[in-house]
Structure formats: C-alpha cells, structure tokens
Chain A
Amino acid sequence: MIEQLKFDFPGHPSPVQPARGNACIGVVNSGNLEVLIESAALGGRCEVDVKTSANGFKSTWAAVLEDFFARNRFADIKISINDYGATPAIVSLRLDQAAAEIMEKEMR
C-alpha cells in the first residue's frame, strides 16, 4: 500500500525568489520518483507531501528533506512527491533538480 507522509519546515529568513510557479522533475518508475515543486502562500513555511510505495522510512525522509532545506534558501514552497521506492541519494538528486528547475524561467 501507499504510505502518506507530511512534513513541515520553517522557511529561510532571506529566501530566493522562484522564476516560475511550479516545476516537475522525475518519473514514477521503479526506484525513481517525481517531485512537484510549487510556490505557495504558506506564511513563510515550507510543506512536503510524500506518497511512497516503500513503507516505514519516515525518519529517512525527514533526514533527506532536512538536508535539502539546509542547502536551499526556500520559503513559501510546497513540495509534493510520488515515490516508487527511490533510494535517499536519488531522492536528494531529484529534489535538487526540482529546486534548480523552478529557478529557470522557461522549461528546458
């Protein structure tokens, strides 16, 4: 079954300004995931919704996401993930790709 996880992070005090409203990276394929990143009015906070086929890894998700927000100056950002059993390294990579993509004005 699919496990649903929700995370909440305090936004960065001096955040970057995304170049567009949203970006989507990755494909829901075995060992892979898709990351949808959107600008959202969240009072400066950041939210992450995860739907994953691999159950019981909440603490791993929390660690990967904490790292992500530590290396990116984001606020008012919502991230939604459909995961099909990706490893933490792949998750980090896709998150970084999504973060880079939303800073681009046009879809490559």
Chain B
Amino acid sequence: MNLAEWRTRESFYEATARRRITGVLDQNSFQEILGPADRITSPHLEELGFPVSFDDGVVIGSGLLNGNNVMIAAQESGFMGGSVGEVHGAKMTGLLQSALATKTTAVLLLLDTGGVRLHEANAGLVAISEIQRAAFRLREAGIPILVLIGGNNGCYGGMGIFARCCDHVIMSEEGRLSLAGPEVIETAGGVEEFDSRDRALVWRTMGGKHRFLLGEADRLVIDDIRAFRAAAIELMQKPEPLTLESMLQEHRRLAERLEAYGDCKDALEIWKRMGIPGSDSIPIMDNEAFHAAIKPYVASKETQEKKCHER
C-alpha cells in the first residue's frame, strides 16, 4: 500500500456506528428505521437509574450495496459496551424479519459487542435467542447474513455464538471474535489460564488473523471502511447452504480441527503445526504479507469443506 492510499483510509475501528453504515453502503442510500427521534429507549436502564440512549445502542435500516437492496444494523460500541438489551435486540430481530418479508439481497450486521446486557438479564438473553431464530429463518430462505467485525469491543458472548450462525464473517486484524471475553476467562480460570492484560495473547487467541486461519472468518481485511464494503459486496450474493448435510460437514471439520490442534496451548503452536514458515511473526505482518505467507499452507474454508465432503 502506498502513501496516498494510506492517507485516504478511513478506520472502521474508530468510526461510530452511523458512520460505519454510511461508509459501507452506497452514498446517501441509508434510510434509518426507528432512529433517535423515535426515542425507543430501554425501560430497564431507566428503572435502574442508568442513562439511556435514543437508539438503545443500535442503528438499523435499509440501503443499497452496489445498487442492491440490503438491510443493515450497526451496534454502537460506546453505549453499554454494545450490549444487547431488550429494545436493542428487538430492533435487530425486526430488521431480520423485515429482510425476509421484503426479500432483500442480503443483511449486513456490524457487530461490536460484549453480548447480553447483563442489566437487562433474561430480557437480554431472550432477545439474543430471538435474533438467532430470525436469522435461521432468513438463512432457510437463502438470504445471506454477513457479519462485519472490526470494532473495539470485538464480538463476544451470545453474539459471538450468533456470528458463527450467519453465512459469512468479515473481520479486520483488530477485530476479535470469541465466546467468553478475556476478563471472563481470567476470572473463571485464573491468570495462569489466561492473562487478560496480555494484549498480544488476547489478539493471537481471539483476533482476526487467528479466526481467519481457523476458518471462522471468511475474509480478513485491513481496517478501512472501504475494505469492509468491498468484501461485503463480494459475499452478498453467496448464501451458505444450511442443511443437515452442511451441519454434518461442519461438525466433521471441527472434529478434524480438534484432533489436529486440541493439545496446543497457544495459537503460536497451532500456526507452527500448520507448517507456516516464520509463523512466530504472524502477529506483526501487515494484511498483504500475512495473506502471502499463509496462502500455500492454509486451505480456504471452501476447499476445507470440499475435502471433508469427499471423505
């Protein structure tokens, strides 16, 4: 990447939820649904004496992606850690249902979240299960759901599970995807198990590069809103089949992965075992160098699935 390109980059990581949406979609095409002026705020937070947000921390609506009708949602990482409360979740569920009713080309979900909003307890948990249910209905109809992860909260908890229930995951190196967050693991298992303050450890375990190497992210892009947009355009018309056969295939892939790397104590060991030369320096490679280094050694998700299928 040359200097001129660097200067025109716009960080996805640094942008607000609204800016991420307007940057990913075609210019001036975004139509917000239940925007701030509608004031649909969390009744639970108000009851607890916490400040509320006019959009409950998620921006939803419709727009165009390369001329195609899409639905889009973006979680605002700054408000309550992007957490899913009752209203927040209902907005996402409604968006997915609306995408099914109007048969949009795809749904884009810009996730930036720690998962359930614990202040809202069961209402938040139910909200995530409703999002999941709505997503499976959409997948059954062959409308792809694309998850974009590149914000500072990463994607954790129930929403981490949810992300892997969707058709495609697009991540940047800065993005993180996992179930329990670093602090949660440390609290439950002790600092010897996982040191949440060791940023290098956190990123090589949960960050975009490792998720891509394990086949959990379909695309690893640079931290530029336009790079996310380009990857979304590439994948928006490619639904992944959701059938019994595709589920069994995925289970075979996971079993094979567990067998290959189950005894590894660190991502560094996994990368070494993959046979990638200079794997120790993966964390410091830029996106281009990373893809060049791993290409001969890491089968893409598509070829891995084919291999499992043939077996």
Contact between A83 and B51, CB atoms less than 8 A apart: yes
Contact of B78 among A2, A24, A27, A106 (CB under 8 A): A27
Q: Residue B79 at the A interface, CB < 8 A?
A: yes
Chain B neighbourhood of A32, CB < 8 A: 78
CA–CA, A82 to B79, complex, Å? 11
Q: Residue A29 at the B interface, CB < 8 A?
A: yes
Per DSSP, chain B at the interface is loop
Chain A neighbourhood of B46, CB < 8 A: 2
Q: Give the residue name and chain of the B residue nearest to A105 (CB).
A: B28
Chain A neighbourhood of B97, CB < 8 A: none
Q: How close is B30's CB to chain A, nearest CB, in angstroms?
A: 7
Segment of B14-22, B164-172, B228-236, B258-266 in the binding face? B14-22
Q: Residue A22 at the B interface, CB < 8 A?
A: yes
Q: Residue B200 at the A interface, CB < 8 A?
A: no
Q: How close is A30's CB to chain B, nearest CB, in angstroms?
A: 9
Chain B neighbourhood of A106, CB < 8 A: 28
CA–CA, A21 to B53, complex, Å? 19
One digit per residue, 1 when the CB lies within 8 angstroms of any chain A CB and 0 when it does not, for chain B 65-91 equals 000000000001011000000000000
Contact of A28 among B22, B37, B39, B78 (CB under 8 A): B78
CA–CA, A45 to B54, complex, Å? 23
Contact between A27 and B54, CB atoms less than 8 A apart: no
A-to-B contact residues, CB < 8 Å: 1-2, 21-22, 24, 27-29, 32, 34, 36, 38, 51-53, 80, 82-84, 106-108
Q: How close is B155's CB to chain A, nearest CB, in angstroms?
A: 18
Chain A neighbourhood of B22, CB < 8 A: 107-108
Q: Give the residue name and chain of the B residue nearest to A38 (CB).
A: B37
Q: Give the residue name and chain of the B residue nearest to A23 (CB).
A: B36
Chain A neighbourhood of B179, CB < 8 A: none
Chain B neighbourhood of A1, CB < 8 A: 49
Chain A neighbourhood of B37, CB < 8 A: 21-22, 24, 36, 38
Contact of B36 among A22, A53, A84 (CB under 8 A): A22
Contact between B52 and A51, CB atoms less than 8 A apart: yes
Contact between A2 and B16, CB atoms less than 8 A apart: no
Interface residues in B130-151 (C-beta closer than 8 Å to A)? none
CA–CA, A34 to B55, complex, Å? 10
CA–CA, A28 to B30, complex, Å? 23
Contact between A36 and B16, CB atoms less than 8 A apart: no
Chain A neighbourhood of B79, CB < 8 A: 27-29
CA–CA, A80 to B18, complex, Å? 18
Q: Give the residue name and chain of the A residue nearest to B55 (CB).
A: A24
Known: A2-B46, A21-B37, A34-B36. Contact between A28 and B53, CB under 8 A? yes
Q: How close is A47's CB to chain B, nearest CB, in angstroms?
A: 14
Q: Give the residue name and chain of the A residue nearest to B23 (CB).
A: A108
Contact between B51 and A82, CB atoms less than 8 A apart: yes
CA–CA, A53 to B211, complex, Å? 39
Contact between B51 and A36, CB atoms less than 8 A apart: no
CA–CA, A78 to B53, complex, Å? 17
